[in-house]
């Protein structure tokens, strides 16, 4: 059986903890756990030197994706967010092959050709993710965006966050049917409500894994997938390895998931 590539979004270890010890501290754990790609989170950086971080990632044989809390389009503006340029520069400094951002306030007047001009100057592949906002967390704007992208034959892919659709009461299954062919990166997280009624990300149960299998049927075979839910426990290596193994098996033909595989979640 081939293992499909798995990434870890470093926010999974808890924002405060990651900021406290630095994102580079997790690189050996990820490598030992069988991770393919590290997702560096811009909002969790606390003064790290990006070229140094890039070397540490490269030395462990990991791929790098740079995630930025940037909306591709701001409200009322036809041009891409002016911060995209500096964000691309930071992603390049970090050695990232991919940059992940949110869609933002995309409309029919958004200047997609201007976006192509900005991206052409960088050797970083753009991935646009559905977030939890009304403007960036609904299916229809993404359908319109990728129709424009296809028309111009622009090499832009989608990060499909399974859980984020819930914030705007969108169907992940419907989203996968409409957008699955554009997906190049899959953010995996289950969602539940806490005691106060707030939606939160949680580790998957067996039913969640079965649902994710159905979603993957609409996406390219072996699409890289990422842990985007809490990884907590006394032994982070064991916890990480367990979840990596579970996600690596998703999409394998005729495979049964053992419930005990998630016992450390």
Do the Cβ atoms of 235 and 33 come closer than 8 Å?
no
Q: How far apart are CA 265 and CA 255, in angstroms?
A: 20
Which has the closest alpha carbon to 128: 111, 147, 144, 145?
Answer: 145
Which fold, 6-262? TIM Barrel (3.20.20)
Residue 152 corresponds to which tokens in the numbers above?
Answer: 């111009």
Say if CB 162 and CB 152 are below 8 A apart. no
CA 225 to CA 58: how far, in whole Å?
20
Contact of 66 with 98, CB cutoff 8 Å: yes
Asked if residue 67 has pLDDT above 90, the reply is yes
In the chain, % of residues over pLDDT 90 = 94
Token look-up 């560096």 returns 40
Checking if the pLDDT of 262 tops 90, the result is no
> Is residue 244 over pLDDT 70?
yes
C-alpha triplet 71, 117, 88: angle, nearest 5°: 50
pLDDT in tens, 122-166: 999 999 999 999 999 999 999 999 999 999 999 999 999 999 999
Mention every residue, 6+ apart, whose C-beta is less than 8 A from residue 115. Answer: 72, 80, 84, 154
Quote the pLDDT of residue 252: 87
Nearest to 10 by CA among 45, 61, 50, 34: 45
- The pLDDT-based confidence of 264 (bands split at 50, 70, 90) is very low
Report the pLDDT averaged over residues 200-220: 97
Q: What is residue 79's DSSP assignment?
A: S
Q: How far apart are CA 212 and CA 220, in angstroms?
A: 13
Q: How confident is the model at residue 21 (pLDDT cuts 50, 70, 90)?
A: very high
For residue 259, pLDDT over 60 is answered with: no
Q: What is the mean pLDDT of residues 6-26?
A: 97
pLDDT surpassing 60 at residue 261:
no
pLDDT, one tens digit per residue, over 212-230 is 999 999 999 999 999 999 9
């Amino acid at each position: 059986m081939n293992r499909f590539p798995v990434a870890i979004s470093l926010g999974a270890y808890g924002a405060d903890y990651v900021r406290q010890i630095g994102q580079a501290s997790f690189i050996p754990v990820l490598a030992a756990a069988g991770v393919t790609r590290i997702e560096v989170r811009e909002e969790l950086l606390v003064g790290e030197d990006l070229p140094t971080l890039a070397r540490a990632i490269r030395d462990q044989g990991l791929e790098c994706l740079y995630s930025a809390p940037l909306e591709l389009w701001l409200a009322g503006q036809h041009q891409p967010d002016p911060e995209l340029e500096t964000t691309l520069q930071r992603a390049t400094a970090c050695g990232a092959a991919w940059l992940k951002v949110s869609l933002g306030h995309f409309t029919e007047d958004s200047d997609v050709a201007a976006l192509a001009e900005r991206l052409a100057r960088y050797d970083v592949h753009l991935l646009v993710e559905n977030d939890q906002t009304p403007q960036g967390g609904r299916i229809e704007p993404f359908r319109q965006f990728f129709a424009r992208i296809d028309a111009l034959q622009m090499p832009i892919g989608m990060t499909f966050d399974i859980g984020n659709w819930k914030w705007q009461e969108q169907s992940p299954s419907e989203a996968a049917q409409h957008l699955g062919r554009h997906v190049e990166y899959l953010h995996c997280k289950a969602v539940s409500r806490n005691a106060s009624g707030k939606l939160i990300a949680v580790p998957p149960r067996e039913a969640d894994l079965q649902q994710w299998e159905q979603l993957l049927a609409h996406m390219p075979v072996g699409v890289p997938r990422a842990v985007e839910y809490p990884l907590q426990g006394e032994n982070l290596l064991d916890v990480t390895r367990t979840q990596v193994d579970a996600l690596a098996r998703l999409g394998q033909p005729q495979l049964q998931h053992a419930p005990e595989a998630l016992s450390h979640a």
